């Protein structure tokens, strides 16, 4: 690890429900963090949008507040890393910086009918082979196509070259550099349905299929390296290099130091996502999982991952808090759920944005079943935590089928991983050790570590391995027979959700 005159790394974690900024020292140790939520926009059932200007304001505000909290000056920042909600797409004017439409969020289901039609027409094999993904409204391609088709004048402006598009990392890079850089990294590009997973370049056949002009898209770069430098900001001085970038789940895999083939992590965020490092091998899933670019470092081959994700995880707790009024703070869920020994027969399938892996059913809807006169708020709270763990268990089972072997442990991170009850439930249902690190904000950590590598502050991956430390290991206590019965009951509930 090299010494630097500047003493800190700044990581921007632009998430689905809010923005978090973390400041770390050059040894990768946490100094301070600030989170700020922003409004979710639901124009129609199944539609989810964000105001890009609200996102940008939340980024500026959290940077300012975090610098103040850490008692750090902008001139003390050695490098910036960016991580982000991945498939969310935004289109903006290159000169005015103004978005032409709200960002369409990864949870959005408005293109479900298009995706159904493309599957029926037989396009899924071609798209899967080129991208490692499946046809689903989750990914950026159909969302971008929708904006180009449905927002007046946008297609003509895009073809004329006056507009730019990208996932949120690209949008933030543009704003941070005052329009000097239009770029993304391989991990984010691999989630668009527009990048060829083999070449790590935009694919002409895919661009033609989704009717996306090549000039609209950013340059695809390595995940660690020079992306640009700050310019024209009130919250930071000019000239700070931006040297790390990755989608949130790949950043978490990196922050968990899962550098060896077979090492895995599960992030508990708005959704939950389980990834396993597959090295330089692109595994083709036969169990409903995805092949994705994990990262690419300078001078190295692409590192790939096998991924499965549930769209609603921590968002289910927010649903109980905001829509149903069960709790005032998300942190109250553990105490409420712990007040009963089980869910009392209640089953909550939080398919509030359809079902992700391994089902890929955008039409499924959330259900709460098994209610009786004796059902209390605590039972539904407990059922919510159980659902969060059971979704991940389905993904792990699918992952083990593709790998042809059992995993011995899974590393966990994200805000909900601080919930001991949830982590024990996860270990019980998975039947493997659940390992929680001391630093659970590994998404931000991964972005910071990539930035440190890109800036030459870290010499290699060994510097990161030295940082990662275990906080607690949760070992499974549930017997195999009880686990099998619980999973069977869950499977029946999932089938009911598909019928709604």
Q: Per residue in 228-266, pLDDT tens?
A: 999 999 999 999 999 999 999 999 999 999 999 889 999
Give residue 356's pLDDT: 85
387-398 pLDDT, tens digit per residue, is 999 999 999 888
Region of residue 492 (left: phi > 0; alpha: psi -120 to 50; beta: else)? alpha
User: Residue range 463-469: average pLDDT?
Assistant: 90
Residues 173-193 have a mean pLDDT of 97
Q: What was the pLDDT predicted at 228?
A: 97
Residues composing the chain: 500
Pairing of strands 367-369, 264-268: unpaired
Whole-number pLDDT of residue 367? 92
* Predicted pLDDT of residue 351: 92
Q: What are phi and psi of 92, to 5 degrees?
A: -145, 165
Decide if 134 contacts 118 (C-beta within 8 A).
no
155 neighbors 149 (Cβ within 8 angstroms): yes
Chain-centroid distance, C-alpha 282: 20
Average pLDDT over residues 304-325: 90
Asked whether 354 and 363 are in contact (CB, 8 A), the reply is yes
Question: Mean pLDDT, to the nearest integer, of 489-499?
Answer: 90
Residue 357 banded pLDDT, cuts 50, 70, 90: confident
Topology of domain 8-249, per CATH?
Answer: Nucleotidyltransferase; domain 5 (3.30.420)
Instruction: Using alpha carbons, list the distances in angstroms from residue 63 to 28, 240, 362, 410.
Output: 18, 13, 36, 32
pLDDT of residue 4: 47
Q: What is the pLDDT of residues 201-216, one digit of tens each?
A: 999 999 999 999 999 9
Q: What is the pLDDT of residues 127-148, one digit of tens each?
A: 999 999 999 999 999 999 999 9
pLDDT of residue 222: 96
Domain boundaries, the chain: 8-249
Per-residue pLDDT tens digits for 420-436: 999 999 999 999 999 99
Indicate if the pLDDT at residue 289 is higher than 60. Answer: yes
Per residue in 433-462, pLDDT (tens digit) is 999 999 888 999 999 999 999 999 998 899
Beta carbons within 8 Å of 310's beta carbon, 6+ residues apart: 271, 272, 273, 355, 356, 357, 388, 391, 392, 395
Long-range own/partner contacts, residues 316-320 (CB < 8 A, 24 or more apart): 316/348, 316/350, 316/352, 316/384, 316/387, 316/388, 317/384, 317/416, 318/17, 318/270, 319/350, 319/352, 320/380, 320/381, 320/384
Alpha-carbon distances, residue 194 vs 87, 143, 203, 206 (angstroms): 11, 12, 6, 5
Q: What is the pLDDT of residue 403?
A: 83
Distance CA(356)–CA(362), nearest Å, equals 8
In the predicted structure, residue 98 carries a pLDDT above the cut 50: yes
């Amino acid at each position: 690890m090299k010494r630097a005159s500047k003493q800190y790394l700044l990581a921007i974690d632009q998430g689905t429900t809010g923005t978090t900024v973390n400041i770390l020292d050059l040894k990768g140790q946490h100094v301070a963090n600030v989170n700020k939520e922003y409004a979710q926009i639901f124009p129609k059932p199944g539609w989810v949008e964000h105001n890009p200007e609200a996102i940008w304001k939340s980024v500026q505000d959290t940077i300012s507040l975090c610098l103040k909290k850490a008692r750090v000056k902008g001139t003390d920042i050695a490098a910036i890393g960016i991580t982000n909600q991945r498939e969310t797409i935004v289109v903006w004017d290159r000169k005015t910086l103004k978005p032409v439409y709200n960002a369409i969020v990864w949870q959005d289901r408005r293109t479900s009918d298009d995706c159904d039609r493309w599957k029926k027409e037989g396009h899924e094999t071609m798209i899967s082979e080129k991208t490692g993904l499946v046809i689903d409204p989750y990914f950026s391609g159909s969302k971008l196509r929708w904006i180009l088709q449905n927002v007046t004048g946008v297609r003509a402006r895009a073809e004329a070259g006056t507009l730019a598009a990208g996932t949120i990392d690209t949008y933030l890079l543009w704003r941070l550099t005052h329009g000097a850089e239009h770029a993304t990294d391989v991990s984010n590009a691999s989630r668009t349905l527009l990048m060829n997973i083999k070449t790590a370049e935009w694919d002409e056949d895919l661009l033609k299929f989704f009717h996306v002009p090549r000039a609209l898209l950013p340059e695809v770069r390595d995940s660690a390296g020079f992306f640009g430098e700050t310019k024209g900001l009130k919250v930071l001085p000019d000239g700070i290099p931006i040297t790390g970038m990755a989608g949130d789940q790949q950043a978490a895999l990196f922050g968990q130091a899962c550098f060896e083939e077979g090492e895995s992590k599960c992030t508990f965020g708005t959704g939950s996502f389980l990834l396993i490092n597959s090295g330089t091998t692109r595994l083709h899933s036969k169990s409903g999982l995805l092949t994705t670019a994990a990262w690419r470092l300078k001078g190295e081959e692409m590192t790939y991952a096998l991924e499965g994700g549930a769209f609603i995880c921590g968002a289910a707790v927010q649903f109980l808090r905001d829509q149903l009024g069960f709790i005032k703070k998300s942190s109250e869920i553990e105490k409420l759920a712990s007040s009963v020994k089980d869910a009392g027969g209640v089953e909550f399938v939080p398919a509030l944005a359809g079902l992700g892996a391994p089902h890929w059913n955008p039409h499924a809807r959330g259900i709460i079943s098994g209610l009786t006169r004796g059902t209390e708020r605590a039972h539904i709270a407990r059922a919510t935590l159980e659902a969060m763990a059971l979704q991940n268990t389905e993904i792990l089972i699918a992952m083990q089928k593709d790998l042809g072997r059992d995993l011995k442990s899974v590393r966990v991170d994200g805000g909900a991983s601080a919930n001991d009850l949830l982590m024990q439930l996860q270990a019980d249902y998975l039947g493997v050790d659940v390992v929680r690190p001391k630093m659970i904000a590994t998404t931000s950590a991964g972005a910071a570590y990539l930035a440190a590598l890109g800036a030459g502050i870290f010499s290699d991956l060994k510097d990161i391995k030295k940082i990662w430390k275990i906080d607690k290991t949760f070992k499974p206590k549930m017997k195999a027979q009880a686990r099998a019965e619980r999973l069977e009951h869950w499977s029946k509930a999932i089938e009911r959700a598909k019928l709604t």
